[in-house]
Chains A and B, each alone.
Chain A
Amino acid sequence: AQSVTQLGSHVSVSEGALVLLRCNYSSSVPPYLFWYVQYPNQGLQLLLKYTSAATLVKGINGFEAEFKKSETSFHLTKPSAHMSDAAEYFCAVTIGGATNKLIFGTGTLLAVQP
């Protein structure tokens, strides 16, 4: 079975500072990994995904994530936070292909201070 763990339910950074949101996964087979963002009162929007190609994945809004098999991690980063990045971020895992079962982490709420 697959699972993801997001460390830190709340993260606060200053505008312009590095954003680092942590995600560790567990999977018995090569996983597909995703980061979704949810702005207040909205649905989820895909930020980026890893599907066994390049280990460093670039997404929208300047975010990127690196798949590290040895550490079973898929941390999300952005060099310089912007006020508009304030949102909740979800890491998710699936074994891909035919399955429709996307397993989500519990989410990390990112606050950006001026």
Chain B
Amino acid sequence: NAGVTQTPKFQVLKTGQSMTLQCAQDMNHEYMSWYRQDPGMGLRLIHYSVGAGITDQGEVPNGYNVSRSTTEDFPLRLLSAAPSQTSVYFCASRMRNTDTQYFGPGTRLTVL
């Protein structure tokens, strides 16, 4: 199993550009989440999904969209990037009846 994979590893955007951060897992996990990590603030939940076709907002959802068309994939979209979205983004997944989340390696995003 590859576990949770994220692409790209690094990305630089200009303000106003759009992009999609990809996340995939091959463990057949129902739950998937997106977090952003900022210095001194830990990880904050952006959006999450409890299964294909079901998504919900986390703590800091503004400026981000998600969809879950398959169990495996959970892309995060930035429609109009802003410098405040400069961060490291982590995707995570877990099985329905467990509490352990598995994290991807992260995407480091810089918005100029």
Contact = CB atoms under 8 A, between A and B. Distances in A.
Interface of A: 9, 32, 34, 36, 42-46, 49, 51, 90, 94, 96, 98, 100-107
17 contacts: A9-B40, A42-B105, A42-B106, A43-B104, A44-B43, A46-B101, A90-B42, A96-B99, A100-B31, A100-B50, A100-B94, A101-B45, A101-B58, A102-B101, A104-B35, A107-B40, A107-B42
Contacts of A100: 31, 33, 48, 50, 94
B4 to A, nearest CB: 8
B42 A106 contact: yes
Contacts of B62: none
B100 interface: yes
B99 A44 contact: no
Interface in B61-112: 90, 92, 94, 99-101, 103-106
Contacts of B12: none
B41 interface: yes
> What does DSSP make chain B's interface, helix, strand, loop or mixed?
strand
A34 B58 CA distance: 19
Nearest to B101: A102
B80 to A, nearest CB: 27
Contacts of B44: 104
- In the A-B complex, the 5 residue pairs with the smallest Cβ-Cβ separation, listed nearest first, are A43-B103, A104-B42, A104-B43, A44-B103, A106-B42
A106 B50 CA distance: 25
Contacts of A9: 40
A45 B4 CA distance: 12
A103 B101 CA distance: 12
Contact of A101 (B4, B48, B104, B105): B48
